[in-house]
Amino acid sequence: MTRTEHPATGEHHAVIPLPPATARLITAGGATLALASTFLPWTWTTAFPGNLTVTGYPGGLQLLTLTGALLTLAQLLATAGIPGLRWLNPSHTHTPTLHLTLGTLATTWYTLITIATHLGGLVNLEPGGWIAGAATLLATTGALALPARHTPATDGDDSARTPGRLRTTTEALLHTLRPGQTPLPPPKPLPTWAEILVIAAAFGLGLYVLTYGIATEYGELFTGFLLLTGFTATALATAGLGRRLTTLTRKHRGITLTAALATAVAFPLTQNTDEYTLIIVNILIFSTVALGLNVVVGLAGLLDLGYVAFLGVGAYTAALVSGSTASTLHLHFPFWAAVLTGAAASLVFGVLIGAPTLRLRGDYLAIVTLGFGEIFRIAVGNLNGESGPTLTNGPNGIPNIPDLNLFGYDFGNTHTLAGITLTPFANYYLLMLLFTVLVILIFSRAENSRIGRAWVAIREDETAATAMGINGFRLKLIAFALGATLAGLAGTVQAHVSRTVVPELYVFAGPVPPNSAFLLAAVILGGMGTITGPLLGAALLYLIPAKLQFLQDYQLLAFGIALILLMRFRPEGIIPSRRQQLEFHEDTTAATATTLTKAEA
């Protein structure tokens, strides 16, 4: 095994010494054999979920192996320059092929190991399973032997692969490239209608993948889905498709926003029951609260470990004033008034807690906010007329919160509008979607405002920001208050969706999200200071425990390991902001700039 140097980053990668043509043939043969194996039985009994005993018809986890093999073949053909498929790999690198073979290998071998574990040994594997395991291993071996970069017209010619030949200036390259990525050739112009069609297809594909993942019927299938989806997403990113799609979405911003909204609205129409719609409603609540925390942590750089308490303030306030039979206030506000009351209550608590504590920094601020979260939980548990005033019914919480009724539209009933049936949780989904869009607009406006730039300055260096005339305390208090208000806004909807609020829902760390630890992990995992990052992080952290019930006892262990791996390999998060990505990869960026400058010279 030899080591080759990446042309842009200077990193060395292990490569199996095989001719490129032979390596491509091995990869293609392995992928084809893996594809064929899905039409053979992998086990002899239907005791394993998904019925992998049928000949000529793939099912369950076999479909994931089939999908991975097809994507591998398509990417391999695109890298070879086959007309009509070149757009799949604009970066002309074999790395996406390697990621896809690894994803297919991981999914297939996970299936085989799970079969052996569940059924009691490898003897339960049929020939199709053995063929699939060997074929995916063969395809991965071939992909490891492929060169790092490949130009179809000049296979093996280093001069044709010089990064500097693909852009006119180093400045333009550094503007468009992420650290460690190779430059892309200028994309071929597409007609406007084709660009719009590509954007629509991307959102449609995203909706299909999301729907498939949520609707997986058992944990083994969802685990395989996560493995294949993760490697496929990495492959698409390294192929350059993500960057080109980003270019199109920026060019057609209005169409992109319309397509995103239409895709989100269409989700309930893909569901026959409320089971999975309820999951998405909770994900939207979790995501909205994570965006509010992102104002505090991602923009202002304040470590808040008790943020879930503001969600609880909004939820309890809405429960007390929304006409619940268990409410001690005996008030019944209309929904809009309950929303404003919950948001205002969270705002007041944010100011009251932030005013005396935001002069602290770092660990001291984190300890104080953690204390506030615990004080809130203990306080609402004691306001039961025995340990304190009668207000929250103590540990019993406030049940029987009525369904929303907005302008005569009862959210608790099934409605048919223009031939479209909307179930109760579909109604709440659309309402929460509206709230999420509102929070996204607030976050984006705040981020790009003068105050948002001041928050970033405080996050980077508060002493320097103060020296430049920024009132650090006032701006941090604004960030704290805004984050608390957004959390309270989401809490008012959560109270009506869950129909009850109890103190155990608002803890620092617990088995059911959202809680402060999960919210902070969602922001860090997704990418601090971005909009899509916390949305993705919250979706993953809510969906994984919901689908993988066996993780209930090991959630903190699993997320601790995940965060350690994330800090090691991608400290900026899954979808990072440009600024933080450059900060975490200063050495790589400098190496890329040096290489490109030499190439132009």
Tokens 């080109």 sit on residue: 244
Instruction: Single out the residue in 258, 290, 318 at which a domain terminates.
Output: 258
Answer whether 174's CB lies under 8 Å from 589's CB. yes
- How far is the C-alpha of 345 from the C-alpha of 310, rounded, in Å? 9
What pTM was estimated for this model as a whole?
0.79
- 421 membership: H or E segment, kind and range: strand 420-422
Q: Does 253 share its domain with 318? A: no
Q: Alpha carbon of 368 to those of 351, 358, 459, 482, 487: distances in Å?
A: 14, 9, 19, 19, 19
- How far is the C-alpha of 357 from the C-alpha of 375, rounded, in Å? 15
Specify the pLDDT at position 247.
Answer: 84
Instruction: Single out the residue in 233, 258, 283 at which a domain terminates.
Output: 258
Query: Is the confidence at residue 563, as pLDDT, over 80?
Result: no
Among 521, 534, 540, 541, which residue's Cα sits nearest to residue 575? 534
Answer whether 327's CB lies under 8 Å from 449's CB. no
Residue type, 124: N
Would 92 be classed as within a structural domain?
Answer: yes
Which carries the bigger pLDDT value, residue 399 or residue 274?
399
- How far is the C-alpha of 67 from the C-alpha of 70, rounded, in Å? 5
Which residue range(s) make up the domain with 130?
2-156+189-258
Answer whether 394's CB lies under 8 Å from 381's CB. yes
* Degrees to nearest 5, angle at CA 185 with 181 and 187: 115
Answer whether 94's CB lies under 8 Å from 143's CB. yes
Among 77, 109, 115, 92, which residue's Cα sits nearest to residue 231? 109
Specify the pLDDT at position 130.
Answer: 94
Q: Does 239 share its domain with 306? A: no
Tell me which range, 6-15, 77-86, 353-362, is most confidently predicted by mean pLDDT.
Answer: 353-362
Answer whether 502's CB lies under 8 Å from 261's CB. no
Q: Does 148 share its domain with 276? A: no
Answer whether 274's CB lies under 8 Å from 423's CB. yes
Q: Does 229 share its domain with 304? A: no
CA-CA-CA-CA torsion sign (304, 308, 310, 311): positive
Query: Is the confidence at residue 181, as pLDDT, over 50?
Result: no
Work out the number of other CB atoms within 10 angstroms of the CB of residue 57.
10
Tell me which range, 130-134, 267-271, 385-389, 551-555, is most confidently predicted by mean pLDDT.
Answer: 130-134
Tell me which range, 113-117, 170-174, 218-222, 376-380, is most confidently predicted by mean pLDDT.
Answer: 113-117
- How far is the C-alpha of 588 from the C-alpha of 271, rounded, in Å? 45
- How far is the C-alpha of 509 from the C-alpha of 517, rounded, in Å? 5
- How far is the C-alpha of 429 from the C-alpha of 127, rounded, in Å? 46
The stretch 244-270 carries a mean pLDDT of 86
Alpha helices in 170-191 (DSSP H): 170-176
Token pair for residue 145? 């032997």
Q: Return phi, psi of residue 210, to 5°.
A: -65, -45
**Three-state DSSP state, 521:** helix
Which carries the bigger pLDDT value, residue 100 or residue 91?
100
Please report how many Cα atoms fall inside a 13 Å half-sphere around the Cα of residue 41, on the Cβ side: 12
Would 380 be classed as within a structural domain?
Answer: yes
Q: Alpha carbon of 114 to those of 61, 146, 223, 248: distances in Å?
A: 11, 30, 11, 42
Query: Is the confidence at residue 271, as pLDDT, over 80?
Result: no
Would 105 be classed as within a structural domain?
Answer: yes
The stretch 227-250 carries a mean pLDDT of 87
- How far is the C-alpha of 196 from the C-alpha of 30, rounded, in Å? 36
Q: Does 275 share its domain with 420? A: yes
pLDDT band at 71; cut points 50, 70, 90: very high
Answer whether 29's CB lies under 8 Å from 123's CB. no
Token pair for residue 364? 């001291």
Would 280 be classed as within a structural domain?
Answer: yes
pLDDT band at 238; cut points 50, 70, 90: confident
Q: Does 277 share its domain with 231? A: no
Q: Does 216 share its domain with 328? A: no
Specify the pLDDT at position 41.
Answer: 93
Beta strands in 450-507 (DSSP E): none
Answer whether 394's CB lies under 8 Å from 383's CB. yes
Query: Is the confidence at residue 158, as pLDDT, over 70?
Result: no
Give per-residue pLDDT as tens, 454-488: 988 888 888 888 888 888 888 889 998 999 999 99
Would 314 be classed as within a structural domain?
Answer: yes
Buried b (16+ CB within 10 A) or exposed e, 568-583: eeeebbbbbbeebbbe
Query: Is the confidence at residue 507, as pLDDT, over 60?
Result: yes
CATH number at residue 384: 1.10.3470
Tokens 């760390």 sit on residue: 509
The stretch 522-529 carries a mean pLDDT of 84
pLDDT band at 169; cut points 50, 70, 90: very low
Q: Does 253 share its domain with 309? A: no
Number of compact structural domains in the chain: 2
The mean pLDDT value of the chain amounts to 80
Buried b (16+ CB within 10 A) or exposed e, 347-360: bebbeebbeebbee
Would 577 be classed as within a structural domain?
Answer: no
Q: Does 251 share its domain with 283? A: no
**Three-state DSSP state, 333:** coil
What is the length of the chain? 601
Among 540, 512, 515, which residue's Cα sits nearest to residue 526? 540
Please give the distance of CA 230 from its chain centroid, rounded to a whole number: 11
Would 578 be classed as within a structural domain?
Answer: no
Q: Does 247 share its domain with 276? A: no
- How far is the C-alpha of 525 from the C-alpha of 528, rounded, in Å? 8
Within 8 A by CB and 6+ apart from 2, the residues are 14, 15, 17
Q: Does 225 share its domain with 117? A: yes
Residue type, 490: A
Would 81 be classed as within a structural domain?
Answer: yes
Q: Return phi, psi of residue 436, to 5°.
A: -65, -45
**Could you report how far apart the first and last alpha carbons of the chain are, in Å?**
33
Please report how many Cα atoms fall inside a 13 Å half-sphere around the Cα of residue 449, on the Cβ side: 13
* Degrees to nearest 5, angle at CA 444 with 439 and 446: 95
Q: Does 381 share its domain with 422? A: yes
SS3 of 558-601: HHHHHHHHHHHHCCCCCCCCHHHHHHHCHHHHHHHHHHHHHHHC
Please give the distance of CA 538 from its chain centroid, rounded to a whole number: 7
